Structure 1
Amino acid sequence: MTLDDFSPLITLMLVHIIGLMSPGPDFALVVQNTAKYGRVTGVYIALGLSIGILIHSTLSLTGISFVIQQSPNLYLLLQIAGGSYLTYLGIGALRSVLVKPTGGERSDSNNAQVLITNQSQALFRGLTTNLLNPKALVFFVSLMSSLIPTTMPVLGKGLAIGLLWVLSFFWFAFLAWALSTQRVQRKLAHLTGYIDAICGVMFCALGLIILVKTLMPEITG
């Protein structure tokens, strides 16, 4: 690798950092579940999100994501799946706010769709939220195609993918850690319902927007 190969990597890192810090489904998922379940769950969600980004960046760099984006049927299925999943998460979050369990304890039967009971579920929730987000696919296709030249050596491309994964995990894990300190947790304990409500509305809005644009393009066009 030459010095010229490092310039696009630096630009890639800066653009990705800005994207990570922008409010979106990934950010909301970490905030919501760290506030509700604590640091370990938040870190495993961060790991799932970063693995999703690793997969997206790898598929984008190899051209597979571009093929999916250019295939009307495949991209349609991804948009429907992504919009439906985000809406599902939103409804689950809102139900946890609206349903009032008796006896002061959470009812598993009423809230099973929003509970995370182990680390595997947390990782899977993060992974699916990122992978099924069609906007993430478009973002990484645009990012890789515009910043990573086709002439870059394989080592450079592998380094680009690794940097995106490390930055993603570090940011979301740091967010989970910052939100799970004792001082912050004491404050968040009284705000969990509001956080669920805000995240629920955000997930529902994003999911429904994707579904409406996908299934009824004449309305948004």
Structure 2
Amino acid sequence: MDLTHILAFNLALAAAIASPGPAFLISVKTTLSAGRHAGLAVGAGLGLMASLWTLSALLGLDVIFTAFPWAYVAVKTIGALYLLYIAYGMWKGARTPLAPSEVKPARHAFLQGLMINLMNPKSALFAAAVLVVIFPPDMTLAQKGLIAANQLVIELMFYALVAFGMSTSTARAAYLRAKSHIDRIAAVVLSALGLRLLFGR
């Protein structure tokens, strides 16, 4: 493994992180509704779990999912239902004004970020596919740990940029003005992603 492998992985990772999905949507929505600290916390949860999925793929977890399809289906189903649950909560609370007492604690935001990516086993399969293409097969345990640590740093940097960018007074004021519409759009998108995860292959 050399620097070109890491650079190629980081390019693929950047494209995956920035693509519209539940992780990106939750990071933006959390920052807008609950502030910068919650946005940083949810990003930390998302990034930590994503890097752990990559590490698990490096250690062969994708082989387990292939050998035991029921395990993959079980995790995928739970993840889809979790996304639908979050979407339902967003839709239901769309018209409710955002009160300071309702701001999400950082700990709760971190756990939500962790759960969003924990319940998406496709992350492990995607990581495995990318890793096989980019990295040589004879990597040491230390090199595998370095790849996961590299991903964690990239993920944390990305979600920190989202948290700082979306926590400006202008962005938050715009969100508060259009809260009901934004929350319902987010709920529909999350529902679609949840259904796709539930019924997709």
TM-score with structure 1 setting the length: 0.83
Measure the CA separation in 1 of the matches of 2:85 and 2:187. Answer: 9
1:123 corresponding residue in structure 2: 110
Contact 2:55-2:144 at 8 Å conserved across structures: no
Residue type of the partner of 2:65? I
1:164 corresponding residue in structure 2: 151
Contact 2:54-2:123 at 8 Å conserved across structures: no
Residue type of the partner of 1:65? D
Contact 1:69-1:138 at 8 Å conserved across structures: no
Measure the CA separation in 2 of the matches of 1:105 and 1:161. Answer: 37
Residue 189 of structure 1, aligned match among 166, 170, 176: 176
1:68 corresponding residue in structure 2: 65
SS of 2:2's equivalent in the other structure is helix
Note the residue ranges of structure 1 that are not aligned, 5 or more in a row.
109-114, 215-221
Measure the CA separation in 2 of the matches of 1:87 and 1:50. Answer: 21
2:141 corresponding residue in structure 1: 154
Residue type of the partner of 2:50? I
Residues 83-122 of structure 1, C-alpha deviation per residue, up to 9 Å, x if partnerless?
A: 111111111111112xx55xx676x9xxxxxx66322110
Residue type of the partner of 1:81? I
Measure the CA separation in 1 of the matches of 2:39 and 2:178. Answer: 17
2:93 corresponding residue in structure 1: 96
SS of 2:139's equivalent in the other structure is coil
**Within 5 A, what are the aligned runs for 1:1-221?**
5-97=2-94, 100=95, 117-213=104-200
Tell me how far 1:20 sits from its aligned partner.
Answer: 0.8
Tell me how far 1:167 sits from its aligned partner.
Answer: 0.3
Measure the CA separation in 2 of the matches of 1:57 and 1:105. Answer: 36
Measure the CA separation in 2 of the matches of 1:127 and 1:146. Answer: 27
Measure the CA separation in 1 of the matches of 2:103 and 2:73. Answer: 29
Measure the CA separation in 1 of the matches of 2:63 and 2:180. Answer: 40
1:111 corresponding residue in structure 2: none
Aligned residues: 200
Contact 2:41-2:110 at 8 Å conserved across structures: yes
Moved more, 144-153 or 8-17: 144-153
SS of 2:93's equivalent in the other structure is helix
Residues 154-197 of structure 1, C-alpha deviation per residue, up to 9 Å, x if partnerless?
A: 33322211111100111011101100012322222212222211
Measure the CA separation in 2 of the matches of 1:105 and 1:188. Answer: 10
Measure the CA separation in 1 of the matches of 2:194 and 2:146. Answer: 33
Tell me how far 1:44 sits from its aligned partner.
Answer: 0.2
Structure 1 moving runs of 4+ over 4 Å = none
Aligned-pair Cα RMSD in Å:
2.0
Note the residue ranges of structure 2 that are not aligned, 5 or more in a row.
none
TM-score with structure 2 setting the length: 0.91
Measure the CA separation in 1 of the matches of 2:22 and 2:103. Answer: 17
Residues 12-51 of structure 1, C-alpha deviation per residue, up to 9 Å, x if partnerless?
A: 0110011111111011001111111110100000000011
1:217 corresponding residue in structure 2: none
Measure the CA separation in 2 of the matches of 1:138 and 1:202. Answer: 23
Tell me how far 1:200 sits from its aligned partner.
Answer: 0.6
Measure the CA separation in 2 of the matches of 1:199 and 1:208. Answer: 14
